[in-house]
Amino acid sequence: MKLYKDLLSEIANLLEDYSISEVVELRISKIENYDYQINLFIRYRNDENIIEILQKVGEILERSSLVETYEIASSLFINIKINSQKLLPVLANVEENVRIKDTEKIIIDYGGPNIGKPLHVGHLRPLNIGRSIYSINQVVGNQIYSDIHLGDWGMPVAQIITYCIGENIDIKKLSISMLEEIYPKASKKYSIEKEFKLTAQKINKQLTTGQSEINLNWETISKLTLVALKETLNKLGHDFDYWWGESTVNEIIPEMIESLLINNKLEKDGDALISSQITDPRILITKSDGSYLYITTDLATVIFRNKKIPHEKVFYVTDNRQKLHFEQLFKSIEYFEFPKKDYEHIGFGTINDSKGNPLKTRDGGNLKLSDLYDQAYSYIQKINSTLSKEGVDCLTNTVLTFSDLITNRKTDYKFDLEKFTNITGKTGIYVQYAQVRANRLIEAVSQKTSSRNQFNVPLSDLERTLIMQMANIEFYLDLSLKNSEPHHLANYLYELSNQFNALYQDSNIKNIKDINEKNQKIYIVVLFVKYSHLVMRCLGIKPVDKM
């Protein structure tokens, strides 16, 4: 932790004198009256110098102005209580404190909408989780690029074009609502009508080989979808660095396949091509009709990205059901000897209704994301009737984001609008209200704080608890960063807000007469707002101005 780096470095240097090379880490203590614990010394309990080492560690802790008290337990765990008053001057440097030393270049692939189809409720989680992971990496200093990876090529497009031709629908005159109706009808016809299927396969081949009229039809459908897609994403506060899709890599696939064949990495299976790698099941690269699969375009995308963006890692954010696909993709990348990177599939569970069933429309169809947004907007507007449109927009996206991210991404969760808009529960509304309340207090006092080194008024227990919680931000940020799990930060934000509210309700700060005491309390409130807003940024939530 950067807050305690000098103290920890001094202990690590001491250990080097005894030929012990260790990274000295603090852990949050569960022992009453102590904040942290150092537990590495148990590994050296049989070292002939352990008593001397512990004595000298005690001397270091004794000298540190940051340490209020400590104890060396019989287990050799060292328990430490921090002088929280001494932390106040350095807590303001939170943006610098959370930045990591060894930064990385990362590509994050999430969103993955398909051409001709509206964003539905199943897209909410990859969008929220992906954006949060992106923001967390930005905050700590990593160079990260987001790619939406559009499903804008292949058989789905061919089915739409085939349907329009068969029904004499002028593709140039399509609207997004027409397109959204056509897609499921075309998909159904493809599965039950042989002639339609054969025609679609023929058109798909023409699309792949660049037949001009078919490609013009694709361009029309693609542009129409993209406009509607960006409109919905903008409403939900999402954007991407790159809007690449399957169509982006179509032209490099034949060269990729030819190279793999030359190097004996592929073999024929009838008219299809499979990887020569012995796996169970075998990995199919092209179908018998020559058409491509998701893995084909994903492999080409790996090649494309390696040419376009310097990076060491790639994250793929999709639901848990695609686990096998990514296992096959990563095996293939290694077997085909593509450039070595760290590839990771970041899976997640599903969103269900309050009864635990998949979240659907009343007639059992996929619920559009725009419709879910409108439902939440209307509900929030009714209980916040005096708010501006911008305020209701902000709270709507807060609810849709926080209720998603507070849940461990690996598990399913129930979407309950009434529960998620409760101002007293573990909700996005609650954390927004806390920072609004804090800002109101700061504005009401409208008084500059004095110089930091004058903050010497004894801290109350509630003040100390809030200060130590702010000091612990690095722990929760590190958990979220290393595991790509935003729920650690979402829970941290709730606890931070809860502790501020406890302090607010206990202290009538506006009426405090002693100027030093008032300034110190307001300074702590200012810090709370700063920390809240930083964590909100990590989660993809914008602070609302009024509630």
Q: For the chain, what are the domain ranges?
A: 2-82, 105-248+309-346, 371-539
Instruction: Provide the residue type at 339 as one letter.
Output: P
Query: What confidence score (pLDDT) does residue 451 get?
Result: 44
**Cβ–Cβ < 8 Å for 303, 338:** yes
**Cβ–Cβ < 8 Å for 149, 109:** yes
Query: What confidence score (pLDDT) does residue 70 get?
Result: 98
**Cβ–Cβ < 8 Å for 322, 251:** no
Residue numbers of the chain with a pLDDT score lower than 70:
361-364, 447-454
Domain 371-539 indexed as CATH 1.10.730.10: yes
Helix (H) or strand (E) holding 106: strand 105-109
C-alpha pair distances (Å), 467 with each of 125, 431, 499, 513, 523: 32, 17, 10, 23, 11
Instruction: Name the 3-class secondary structure at 168.
Output: coil
Closest CA to 462 of 422, 505, 493, 427: 505
Architecture of domain 2-82: 2-Layer Sandwich (3.30)
Query: What confidence score (pLDDT) does residue 141 get?
Result: 98
φ/ψ of residue 310, rounded to 5: -65, 130
Query: What confidence score (pLDDT) does residue 361 get?
Result: 67
**Cβ–Cβ < 8 Å for 462, 505:** no
Query: What confidence score (pLDDT) does residue 273 get?
Result: 97
- Residue length of the chain: 547
**Cβ–Cβ < 8 Å for 151, 113:** yes
Residue keyed to tokens 């068969």: 166
Parallel/antiparallel/unpaired status of strands 36-38 and 27-28? antiparallel
Query: What confidence score (pLDDT) does residue 192 get?
Result: 96
Structure tokens belonging to residue 219: 């361009």
Structure tokens belonging to residue 249: 């890599």
Cβ neighbors of 307 (< 8 A, separation 6 or more) are none
Write out the DSSP string of 33-58: T--EEE-GGGGGTT-TTHHHHHHHHH
Q: What is the CATH number of domain 105-248+309-346?
A: 3.40.50.620
Treating both helix axes as pointing N-terminal to C-terminal, what angle do 155-166 and 212-235 enclose, rounded to 10 degrees? Answer: 110
